A and B are shown apart, each in its own frame.
Chain A
Amino acid sequence: MSAERRIIPIEPAGSPGKSAAFEYISTRKDELIGWARKFSIFPYPFVTACCAMEFMAVSSTPYDTDRFGAALPRFSPRQSDLLMVVGTVTHKQAPILLKVWEQMCEPKWVMAFGVCATSGGFYQNYAAVPGIDRILPVDVYIPGCPPRPEMVIDGIMQLQDKIARQKHVIVTKDF
């Protein structure tokens, strides 16, 4: 904990000052930035195969990735920061995946959703890329064919931890 630890006042609306349930929480600015960033993931679903069904299941009401701030898919790579590769990627499709990834702005993260994106799965043949980490860096691997929604949520939470630990460029000495 740094010596320059500062306190951020929280004032609930309608009751300024005294009568709130709590008046202050204390945190560090970089932790606050990390907390804010980890709940504003904008995924780009690069959906190629049957794992899409599981992606839809985990996105919708019973499991609800919106609880983790990761519900709103952006269908433009330029507006997204999480590339979710959902399904098998073939060698013929690999240039397209790489182009999508290159179009995304930094900072960006990649999730390999399902065993095919992770390692090729049972497609060990001429057609399939045996793991998308061969062509682009992957942050979170979610195995399973398809993965259970709990596994996807666990992957999202691990990615959230990773994002929260990262230091954003705006957090400088003078921030």
Chain B
Amino acid sequence: MKSSAEVFDRIASRLSDREGEVAVSHGILVANLAPGGVLAAARLLRDELGFDVFLDVTAVDWPGQDPRFEVVWHFYSTSHKVRVRVKTRVPESNPSVPSLTPLYGSAAFMERECHEMYGIGFEGNADLRPLLLYEGFVGHPLRKDYPKEREQPLVAYRPGFELGERG
């Protein structure tokens, strides 16, 4: 088995053909790519570099920065036993990235969660219904501008109890 440094070198040389930068951080290869390059990079990782496990997709809200949102994917290779992190930035006006459901079936639920929590759109994922939240929930609770204690109850409160919005 090759060392992870060798594997990282090989991946970095393949990914750096594309627009973006690739570096090793805390034992993980991190690739900063443009939103348009994510799907191709994921296809390269899966089909040619042996990254067979889709670990996660989530987002980071950087209030005040532009582009505001950072979408983060993690991939794992059971043959090389290394992880790769792919990041991209999307603006608040159009927070949209390509869906990875054509490549990884397990991406479907994680994209649903990321969509409801951060409002990131995943083009190509036809089923972006709320997963952990419920129908009718307004807003995206993990965005930094969502008031921390805003409640959207499904059951009307009993008399004497007021709806909290202490955020």
**A interface residues, Cβ below 8 angstroms from B:** 91-92, 94-95, 98, 124-127, 129-130, 133-137
Contact = CB atoms under 8 A, between A and B. Distances in A.
A124 B154 contact: no
A91 B149 contact: no
Contact of A98 (B132, B150, B155): B155
- With most chain B CB atoms within 10 A of its CB, the pick from A92, A94, A126 is A126
B115 to A, nearest CB: 16
Given A92-B133, A133-B161, A125 B149 contact: yes
Contacts of A94: 153-155
Nearest to A93: B154
A61 B128 CA distance: 48
Nearest to B164: A130
Contact of A126 (B151, B155, B158, B161): B151
Contacts, number: 45
Contact of B158 (A91, A92, A127, A136): A136
B157 A134 contact: yes
B66 to A, nearest CB: 26
19 contacts: A91-B152, A91-B154, A91-B155, A94-B153, A94-B154, A95-B155, A124-B148, A124-B149, A124-B166, A125-B148, A125-B149, A126-B148, A126-B149, A127-B141, A130-B151, A133-B158, A135-B155, A135-B158, A136-B158
B160 to A, nearest CB: 9
B134 interface: yes
A156 to B, nearest CB: 24
Contacts of B161: 133-134
Contacts of A91: 134, 151-155
B62 interface: no
Contacts of B151: 91, 126, 130
Nearest to B142: A126
Nearest to A131: B161
A134 B148 CA distance: 19
Nearest to A129: B153
B147 to A, nearest CB: 8
Given A91-B134, A91-B153, 9 more contacts: A91-B155, A92-B132, A124-B149, A124-B166, A125-B148, A133-B161, A134-B158, A135-B153, A135-B158
A57 B153 CA distance: 32
Given A98-B155, A135-B155, A126 B150 contact: yes
A137 B158 contact: yes
B57 to A, nearest CB: 21
